[in-house]
Amino acid sequence: MKNKPFALKMQTIIIFMLLFSFLLIGQPVAHIVFTIGAIFLIFSALLQINFGNIDSDADLKRTIISFVRNLVIIAIVFAAGIFLAPLFLQRGFMGNAVLVIAYGTVGIFLLFIILGSNITEIMNRLRGRTKKEDGE
């Protein structure tokens, strides 16, 4: 029997991490456990965003390369948000910013629906590649 690919194992582990963090948040006993669960949820969600965009059949090497690439993209998005938020607040065009975010979100969802939700596949389609050409 063939071993499961590394990316599939990680995606499964992250799903259980998310479920565990929800259990920690939902418990009514201790506030500190709630806080730990909230931090764990944020960490797990960021990992899920990253690993959710990696082919589940990827081996360890492809998983690490995709993980680093996706991590850079996530960091750029967070940095852009941190940089742009004060500009939007200072200049008084928060209404326009909300519209840009709303239209951008709808546009991204439409692209995901049209092109599929896997960022690797989307990039390959934009480059005009197929899985056979990539040697997969």
More confident call, 68 vs 123? 68
* More confidently predicted of 40 and 89: 40
The domain segmentation of the chain, as residue ranges, is 1-90, 92-136
Residue range 13-41, pLDDT digits in tens = 999 999 999 999 998 888 899 999 999 99
pTM value is 0.56
Q: What pLDDT sits at residue 16?
A: 93
Work out the average pLDDT over 79-83.
Answer: 82
Spatial separation of the C-alpha atoms in residues 28 and 91, rounded to whole Å: 43
pLDDT at 17: 92
Q: What is the dihedral of CA 27, 28, 33, 35, to 10 degrees?
A: 100
| 20 contacts: CB under 8 Å, gap ≥ 6 | 40
